[in-house]
């Protein structure tokens, strides 16, 4: 069967803050392409989100919105099931077991833990510390071969591999050892206000960040204000960081080749260049925004989709968890 030969991909996104053009270009757009060639599973990582204090009503709303956005971007849940992490209790269960196979020293070395605890000195909770064990559980439950992650998650993925190898070595092969997946046409989207920095949900300057759900007017306005440092020319090779960023965004969103884009803008001023990029992004995102709004207005359909996703995921997850429980010596779980 062709199905079983396809490699398994798992990825997740936290439903916190706004969903940026950076998330779209760097992550979810690739998720859409991958669903044809791999067996993909995508997860809204709401359990990870509470390592930082969240407002409950907002977290609930953002979790649904994030789920709807993944679909609105073009992930088809029939091809690539999407689920909400807390709906599949095996994540919490495997996470506990794996935390007993993860060393304090390893977790202490995680740079994200060090950064986040420096930023949240008043809430350095145990979950923030053991977060990588939960992420390992997310991945290993599905025997994922490949995990598309950004640079900030590579250390966590490396630790997942170490945990998998350790467990497999202590018992017998139990987990597939996952590898990172770096998309061929990878693109890093930088802040429009400070093109030396990554476009991030937490950018202090709201003009630097495009939300997928921004109105067309807002998108165009922010692009018009984008920092380009008017020094040279509209060229990927010779332009400033800001020009490069805009050209990258333009080519990704329109599907045009770089040379084509450069030719199109040759001899134009920065003003019309920036506006053209803004218009292209606004146009490309319009259908995503509309689909998202339609899904958010159809809660019963959304519920059906996340219920189906959770059923599919938990069926796979249970198989792995049962294997793990047996190997570590837990008595068979009675059925009742």
> What residues make contact with ligand TRP under the rule CB under 6 A?
10-14, 45, 48, 135, 138-139, 147, 149, 153
User: Helix, strand or coil for residue 93?
Assistant: helix
- Asked about 323 being catalytic, the answer comes back as no
Residue 9 · residue 181 · CB < 8 Å: yes
Distance CA 156, CA 95 (A): 14
Tokens 């077991």 locate to: 97
- Return the structure tokens found at 188: 């890093």
User: At closest approach, how far in Å is the CB of 112 from ligand TRP?
Assistant: 8
**Can you read off the two tokens belonging to residue 28?**
């979810």
| Closer CB to ligand TRP, 131 or 265, in the complex | 131
Phi, psi values for residue 103, rounded to 5°: -85, 145
Q: How far is the CB of 144 from ligand TRP (least distance, A)?
A: 8
Q: Which residues contact 277 (CB under 8 A, 6 or more apart)?
A: 223, 226, 246, 249, 250
3-class SS of residue 32 = helix
Q: Residue with CB nearest ligand TRP?
A: 12
Rounded to a whole number of angstroms, the minimum distance from the CB of residue 83 to ligand TRP is: 12
Catalytic annotation, pick one of 6, 7, 198, 224 = 198
Closer Cβ to ligand TRP, 278 or 309, answer by number:
309
Question: Quick one: 67 or 250, whose CB is closer to ligand TRP?
Answer: 67
Task: Indicate if 198 belongs to the active site.
Answer: yes
| CA distance to 22, 129, 298, 311, 323, per residue, from 65 (Å) | 17, 27, 12, 20, 34
Residue 197 or 238 having the CB closest to ligand TRP? 197
Closest contact distance (angstroms) between CB of 54 and ligand TRP is 14
Candidate list 7, 58, 114, 116, residue with the active-site label: 116
- Residues tagged active-site: 116, 198, 201
């Amino acid at each position: 069967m062709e199905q079983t030969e396809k490699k398994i991909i798992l990825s997740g996104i936290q439903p916190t803050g706004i969903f940026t053009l950076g998330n779209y270009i760097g992550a979810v757009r690739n998720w859409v392409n991958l669903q044809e060639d791999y067996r993909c599973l995508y997860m809204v990582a709401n359990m990870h989100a509470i390592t930082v204090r969240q407002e409950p009503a907002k977290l609930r709303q953002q979790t649904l919105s994030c789920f709807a956005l993944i679909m609105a971007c073009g992930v088809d849940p029939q091809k690539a099931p999407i689920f909400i992490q807390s709906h599949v209790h095996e994540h919490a269960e495997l996470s506990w077991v794996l935390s007993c196979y993860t060393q304090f020293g390893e977790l202490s070395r995680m740079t994200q833990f060090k950064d986040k605890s420096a930023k949240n000195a008043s809430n350095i909770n145990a979950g923030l510390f053991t977060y990588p064990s939960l992420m390992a559980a997310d991945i290993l439950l599905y025997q994922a071969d490949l995990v598309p992650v950004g640079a900030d998650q590579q250390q966590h993925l490396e630790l997942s591999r170490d945990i998998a190898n350790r467990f497999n070595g202590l018992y017998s092969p139990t987990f597939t050892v996952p590898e990172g997946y770096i998309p061929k046409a990878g693109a890093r989207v930088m802040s429009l206000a400070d093109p030396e920095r990554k476009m991030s949900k937490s950018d202090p300057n709201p003009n630097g960040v495009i939300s997928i759900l921004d109105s067309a007017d807002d998108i165009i306005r922010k692009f018009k204000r984008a920092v380009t440092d008017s020094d040279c020319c509209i060229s990927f090779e010779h332009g400033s960081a800001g020009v490069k960023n805009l050209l990258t965004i333009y080519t990704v969103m329109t599907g045009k080749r770089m040379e084509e884009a450069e030719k199109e803008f040759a001899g134009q001023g920065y003003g019309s260049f920036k506006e053209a990029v803004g218009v292209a992004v606004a146009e490309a995102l319009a259908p995503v925004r509309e689909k998202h709004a339609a899904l958010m207005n159809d809660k019963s359909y959304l519920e059906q989709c996340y219920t189906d996703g959770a059923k599919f995921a938990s069926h796979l997850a249970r198989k792995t968890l049962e294997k793990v429980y047996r190997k570590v010596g837990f008595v068979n779980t009675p059925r009742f």
